[in-house]
Structure 1
Amino acid sequence: MILEGFELYSPHGDTILIAEKLNASVDLNQYWDDKKIVINKLTLENTTAYYQAYKDSSNIQFLLQYFTPPKKKEKKVSKNLNFDLKQLELINNQFRYLDHTKKHYAKVVDFGDLDIKQLNADFRNIKLTDKSIQVDIKQLNLREKKGLEVKGLVAKAFVSNKRIQLDKLLLITNKSTIKDFVKLEFNSFDDFSDFNNRVNVSLRIKNSILNSEDIAFFSSSMHRVKFDLKIKQATAQGRVNHIDAKNIQIETEKATKLKGNVKIIGLPDIDQTDFKLTDLSLQSTYADLQVILPKLSNNKNFKLPEIVKILNTVSYQGDLHGLYNNFHIDGELKTELGALSTKSSLNFQNETQFSGLYESKSFDIGRFLNNSLLKTTGFNLNLKGKGSSSKTLSIDLDGNLENFNFRNYTYQQIPISGIIAEEKFKGSGSIKDPNASIDFQADVDWSDTSVLYNLVAGIHETNLYALHLSQQDSIIVHNTTIETNLKGSNINNLVGDLKANNINFSTKKGTFDIKEVVFQASGDEINRLLTVSSDVVVASLIGQIDLKTIVPYFKMLAMRYAPAIGFETELYNNQNLNWTFKSNHLNPSRPSLKRKSASIAEQLCTLNFQARKTLHNSIYIVPFSNIVA
């Protein structure tokens, strides 16, 4: 049976159905005995159906009334007429639905205002009862007017007035692919008008892809969040506004993996949705996070601090709880530089904000700061701050450094507190160690290319040899105060002064007291003046001085005139300097009982050095006396 050009309109002239072609393969062999009509295949081609719902009626109300005459006394009938539809094929059809009683939405798929075009489907093994439909969906694709595409749907489907279930599911949309199982449970089809709050959803997903742009077809706030997830497996149950998902395994970008459980409460309003992730295992890289976080936080300008790049691969074990861009952290972060545990919060809503406790037993701070003198340290620090770049970073810190390794010596504990703001650090701390007792206050300003260093430190009972600060095993500083006011970008342009007052130290020769030592630096890298003055010694260097390579330079001089010393020669830069040295008598305040009384006699030394790269041109030395012992 073929029907072409069939059209149906409402009494008001509104379109209800326009069917270009209907083709039905009908078998009437069972009609006479069983009152059953078998439709082997029904094809609808280029058909448009339009359904409108009003407060108390619809555009097909007149048809319902026509085919439902007033009730009369029922007559007994032997059998009801049954239809058996084996296959339904839809080719390039359109379905429009408009509910005039509902609020409508412009940016998302509106289930009260649907316009589905390019609807193609192949339904087979159809089983119809008065309460349900079972069907094998071999093919289904469509396009909704808001841009959502179902590029392919294959499933074994069950539909009733209480449940829709899709087994062996394969659903392909614009940018997502969902596989395995979906079940929707509801009281009536009217619940779909409030799908997020009234329809229960059960999911079992594996080897699927979920893209945020497809979710955004159903939630306008999701337009601000971007992600593309590979879901290896997951099970979920609940309503859209309250989902409980377990055994999640997700991958994204090149090397980011997530496993765990999650409760999601508040969708589809992503800004008010609460996420609770438990038993979480997360692994990622700096490169991946630099892609993920700007998209997830809706901040194109977000950048991780460059210093974080050295962490490379990071893994996290623990819990996360909060909004997608403002959450609490309780777990352990493992990096190539060490493990870090934290109970803290992280907020990406506007500018990056963070606060909480951060602890580590051993973290390679030397590699982190690219400083060869620093090694590993433990710490427990309370941090509160904001910003993600050097210019915007602001931090209040308070806590302890533990087992802090500097110049291969491990300090047991260093309490520290301070503030970092506007590219400045102002803080204080102390070192209480068997070989050192130091209290300090620091004020460092790196807002300019020339860094300003202001430091005040009180040093007591400090063994310089034990701390690997001196090669002589007998120097112990019992008491002194050091103040600095230095500025520069490197050691060759550093200017300012360093003062040490009331120095009391001891060596094997006894205990000595020096009232004051002042170091001053001025000039630039071409014309530089360095002076040291005290009641014991006065010395100066003036000229072109490269402090970075001055030690290799003096080693070269030593090897030229005393090759038996055996120093290894190294490259050095230009040196053109005058060196003046004058010492006064220095007697120990408490001579060593084991040694003959010692003193440093008055002496004067003036030298002139010139060198271009590795060439030694001249040297002039005024004889001077040796240390008297």
Structure 2
Amino acid sequence: MAKIIKKIVRVLLIITGVLIMVSVILFLLLRTPRIQTFAVNKIATEISGKTGGEISIGRVSYSLWHEIVLNDILFKDLRGDTLLTAERLDVRLREIRPGRNIYRFGRVDIYKPDFRMVQDTAGIMNLTEYLRILKREGEVDSTKRIDIRFPDIDIFDGSYLLHNMSDTAGVIPGRVNFKKMQLGNISGKVRDLIINPDSVSLVLRGLSFSESGGFTASSIDMNLAVQKSNLSFREIDIITDSSSISAEKILLMPRDKSSWKDFINGVRMDLLFNRSVINTSDLSYFVRPLKGVNEIIRMSGRVSGTVAEMKGRNILIDYESATRLRFDFDISGLPVLSDSYLFIDFTDMKTRAEDVESFHIPGKKPLLLPSIVHDLGIISYQGSFTGFTTDFVSFGKLTTERGTFATDLSLRPDGRNTFGFRGSLRTSNVDLGFIAKNEEMFGGLWMHADIDGSMESFKRLSATINGVVDSVEINNYLYRNISLSGTYADRVWDGNVVVREPNIEMDLMGRFYLEKSMPEFDFSMNLAHADLHTLNLVKKDSVFKASALVTANFRGNRIDNLEGDLRLINSTLENSNGTLSIYDLLVRASVSDGEPLLSLRSDFIDAEVRGLYTFDAVGRSVSGMLAGIFPSKFREPVQKKESTASVAMFTVDTRIKKADKLNNFLGTGLN
């Protein structure tokens, strides 16, 4: 019995020794690069047989710790073109079960990978063909679905190509060409890469690259998934040299596989952006009209739908220190903007002239807005734009630091920097004093009007206006119910003004050329009634009323360059002393023998002023003359300390007629 036990032990020792020797020999053989390369290529051949694409590996090494180092890797697509190459791949194995289609790896380091996604002229992507093969393999036996997992991949100096074979433009400097997009210097980390028959998902961290058109990304973080025909990006953070973009999601969802051929109409988008800082120089790589524009904007919001039927909700855009846009939009008809129907609803829009002028467009002259726009201060708008870019309606309320404007306008761009408008305008509490630089004379303005006109470059305005000034404050008196109708073009107003209220009734018709250097006036006015004291035009006499028919035709902006006539016909003046009727009064300014001449002809007084005169000098002379004649009624003029005497050389020739009536009206006490 003991001998049998000894023999059994001897046999077991021999078997154990043989197993150890075989294991050592196998281990040593597996450590041999040729054997390892042969084994890996055998596996690659098996995978190639399943996918239909050629796979080759130059050299392989394997360690006891399940780490494989692959060199000179080449994957070809089903057409025989390169799909993926890599100079070196360090991969750790976790679980490899070809029989169950399970391939699970540990950490992977990939050096100089080159991944190429090519779409042929029929619209079929080479990667899509691979996924279709994997899906078919999974459908043969539902218990053997392909399951490939990489928990941790580091990429060093990679490249990527997205190429549409129908593209003819190639690389475009300063622009990203999505039909031939080439990325280089790719480095970053891929986490949790999972490949199934119908989906691919991964997490990107710290991805950086440079695009052949010039765009550069410093760091990109996102979660990416391809499921069936849908492409989704989530938790996106993109940092460039001058921008920081954050998005909760970017989803691209075609109706079916063929919809990618008609991206504009067939692929639905859902983009949700968080608060982001974008430099337009980065955006110009994707939006051609922004090329050369270098401005910083802050934005967020959601955009959904197809390109042809696009919606935007809760869009927020901030620019410079005071410009802020909050709006929703619906656009139908893109990508041709001129053929698109737009609805834009501004819940809040604020800006100021300085911000608008600071936006520079290369090749264009700096935009200089009129001083009146600067005077408006912060401009706020709430309302909507509806229609086409060539004909749309603006309905809303414009609020400024100088008043409020409510509009219901149809706008029609008529050409370069020119647009026409038609509709209604209502103003509230417009600060005329600030705008006219005379706050003592003018106060607030309230009016409503129908307007039809055009504007060129925000400078040249022409319009037909029919409206009512509900109230306007002039010289501390609030005028009401002023009707106006006429045209304004190139600083010329030609029309009618009608005033009907208890203290003044007036009809004014004429033409006013408001040129600063030499204004011209040609009008007639029927003043049926005016209470000059109540209107704060005469303060000393509480009873001072007037009526007259006035015609005027003159030009000039100073007393020394006035030229023309001012005539009063059938005028009546009434004060506390009585009534004075003037049948005809003519004031004429002209040049006689090379010197200014101001003449007055009336029923009661004729006068001439010759020489270099000013209103101040004439006024002081007349006041002094009246003080000498009627010392009880008039005082000698007093020179103000802060002013200097007017420089003038002129003569005054005066002839008084019907002195009794004039004395009675003035209350001089003389007969």
Of 426, 435, 442 in structure 2, the residue corresponding to residue 368 of structure 1 is 435
SS of corresponding position for 1:147: coil
Secondary structure, in 3 states, of the residue corresponding to 1:179? Answer: strand
Task: Measure the CA separation in 2 of the matches of 1:81 and 1:459.
Answer: 97
What amino acid sits opposite 1:475 in the alignment? Answer: F
Change (3 A) 1:417 1:106: farther
Which one has the bigger helix percentage? 2
Match of 1:339 among 404, 411, 426: 404
Please report how far the alpha carbon of residue 79 of structure 1 lies from its aligned counterpart in structure 2 after TM superposition: 6.1
Matches of 1:83 and 1:445, distance apart in 2: 82
1:92 alignment partner, SS class: strand
1:628 counterpart = 2:670: yes
Identify if the C-alpha distance between structure 1 residues 221 and 279 changes in structure 2 by more than 3 Å, giving closer, same or farther: closer
TM-score normalized with structure 2 length: 0.75
The secondary structure found in structure 1 opposite 2:640 is: coil
Contact 1:137 1:155 in 2 (8 A): yes
Q: Does 1:387 find its partner at 2:455?
A: yes
Checking the alignment, whether the CA contact within 8 Å between 2:496 and 2:510 is kept in structure 1 is yes
1:531 is matched by which residue type in structure 2? S
Which residue is equivalent to 1:284?
351
Of stretches 14-23 and 245-254 in structure 1, the one that deviates more from structure 2 is: 14-23
**Distance of 1:540 and 1:30 partners within structure 2:** 117
Q: Which residue of 2 aligns with 1:605?
A: none
Question: 1:522 and 2:593 equivalent?
Answer: no
The alignment status of 1:249 with 2:322, answered yes or no, reads no
Match of 1:351 among 413, 417, 441: 417
Deviation at 1:284, TM superposition (A): 1.1
1:295 positional shift: 5.1
Q: 1:315 and 1:374 mapped to 2: Cα distance?
A: 24
Q: Residue 195 of structure 1 aligns to a residue in which SS?
A: helix
The answer on whether the counterparts of 1:483 and 1:499 sit within 8 Å (CA) in structure 2 is yes
Shift of 1:343: 0.8
Alpha carbons 2:464, 2:486 under 8 Å: kept? yes
CA shift in 2, pair 1:235/1:10, >3 Å: closer
* Cα distance in 2 between the residues matched to 1:464 and 1:219: 64
CA distance in 1, matches of 2:345, 2:402: 25
- CA offsets per residue over residues 64-91 of structure 1, 9 Å max, x none? 8xx99x99xx9x9996775432223332
Instruction: Say whether the 8 Å CA contact 1:5–1:18 is kept in structure 2.
Output: no
Q: Which amino acid aligns with 1:430?
A: V
* Per-residue deviation, 1:250: 2.1
Corresponding position of 2:277: 209
Structure 1 residues 81 and 303: CA distance shift in structure 2, 3 A: closer
Q: Write the deviation string for residues 270-302 of structure 1: whole angstroms up to 9, x where unpaired.
A: 44444422252111111112345x759x96465
Residue 414 (str. 1) matches residue 487 (str. 2): no
User: Is 1:473 aligned with 2:538?
Assistant: no
- Once the two structures are superposed, residues 363-386 of structure 1 have per-residue CA deviations (whole angstroms, 9 ceiling, x without a partner) of 122221223422222111222222
Residue 41 of structure 1: how far off its partner (Å): 2.9
Does 2:69 match 1:2? yes
Which protein shows a greater Rg? 2
Alignment of 1:130-209 (within 5 A): 130-172=197-239, 176-182=243-249, 183-187=251-255, 191-209=259-277
Tell whether the 8 Å contact from 2:146 to 2:197 is kept in structure 1 after alignment.
Answer: no
For residues 257 and 220 of structure 2, what CA distance do their matches in structure 1 show?
21
CA shift, 1:388, in A, is: 4.5
> Deviation at 1:584?
0.8
1:569 aligns with 2:650: no
1:221–1:268 Cα contact (<8 Å) kept: no
Does structure 2 retain, via aligned residues, the 8 Å contact 1:133–1:158? yes
Q: Is the 8 A contact 1:155 1:168 kept in 2?
A: yes
Whole-Å separation in 1 of the counterparts to 2:87 and 2:602: 108
Report matched runs for 1:55-74 at 5 Å.
Answer: 55=121
Identify which range, 156-165 or 212-221, moves more after superposition.
212-221
- What is the percentage of aligned positions where both structures have the same residue? 18
| Structure 2: 5+ residue stretches without partners | 1-67
1:330 aligns with 2:419: no
The size of the alignment, in residue pairs, is: 585
- Which of residues 75, 81, 87 in structure 2 aligns to 1:21? 87
Alignment of 1:45-84 (within 5 A): 45-50=111-116, 52-55=118-121, 82-84=147-149
Report the equivalent of 2:181.
114
The answer to whether the 8 A contact 1:149-1:174 is kept is yes
Post-superposition Cα deviations, 1:326-350, rounded to whole Å, max 9, x if no partner, equal 6432111111112111111445652
1:413 partner letter: N
Q: Within 1, Cα distance between the matches of 2:240 and 2:666? A: 89
Aligned to 2:504: 436
C-alpha root-mean-square deviation of aligned residues, in Å? 4.2
Question: Aligned-pair distance for 1:566?
Answer: 9.6
| Structure-2 residue corresponding to 1:42 | 108
Partner residue, 2:465: 397
Q: Counterpart of 1:628 in structure 2: which amino acid?
A: L
Question: Please, which moves more after superposition, 503-512 or 556-565?
Answer: 556-565
* 1:552–1:569 Cα contact (<8 Å) kept: no
SS at match of 1:387: strand
Which stretch shifts more, 168-177 or 501-510?
Answer: 168-177
Q: Counterpart amino acid of 1:310?
A: D
Deviation at 1:184, TM superposition (A): 2.5
- The aligned counterpart of 1:495 is 563
Partner amino acid for 1:476? K
Shift of 1:402: 1.8
Distance 1:164 1:54 in 2: 19
Q: Which residue of 2 aligns with 1:622?
A: none
Give the conservation status (yes or no) of the 8 Å contact 1:163–1:184: yes
Which residue among 111, 128, 132 is the counterpart of 2:195?
128
Shift of 1:211: 4.8
Does the Cα contact within 8 Å between 1:21 and 1:45 map onto a contact in 2?
yes
The one-letter code of the counterpart of 2:670 is V
Secondary structure class of the residue paired with 2:381: strand
Deviation of 1:439 (Å): 0.8
Task: Describe the SS at the equivalent of 2:478.
Answer: strand
- Name the amino acid aligned to 2:153: L
DSSP-derived class of the 2:534 partner: coil
Structure 1 residue aligned with 2:50: none
**Which digits, 9 at most, give the CA deviation of each residue in 1:424-456, with x for residues without a partner?**
221111111211111111212245821111121
1:172-231 Cα deviation digits (max 9, x unpaired): 357543213122223456544433322222222222134555555445466599874311
Does the CA-based 8 Å contact 1:303-1:388 persist in structure 2?
no
Partner Cα distance (1:403, 1:258) in 2: 33
SS in 2 for 1:196: helix
Relative to structure 1, is the Cα distance of residues 163 and 35 closer, same or farther in structure 2, using a 3 angstrom cutoff?
Answer: closer
Post-superposition Cα deviations, 1:468-526, rounded to whole Å, max 9, x if no partner, equal 22233333223x211112111334422222111122333333333222111122349x9
Quick check: 2:357–2:366 contact (8 Å CA) kept in 1? no
Distance 1:390 1:481, change over 3 A: farther
CA distance change for structure 1 residues 497 and 201 in 2, over 3 Å: closer, same or farther? same
Whether contact under 8 Å (1:333, 1:341) holds in the other structure is yes
Q: Deviations over 1:76-116 (max 9, x none)?
A: 99967754322233322223343335686886644443333
Distance 1:161 1:390, change over 3 A: closer
Which residue of 2 is the match for residue 229 of structure 1? 297
Q: 1:611 matched to which residue of 2?
A: none
Q: Which residue of 1 aligns with 2:369?
A: 304
d(CA) in 1 for partners of 2:429 and 2:142? Answer: 88
**What is the deviation of 1:323?**
5.2
Q: Which amino acid aligns with 2:196?
A: T
TM-score of the superposed pair, with normalisation by structure 1: 0.80
Specify whether residues 161 and 628 from structure 1 end up closer, same or farther in structure 2 by C-alpha distance, changes over 3 A only: same
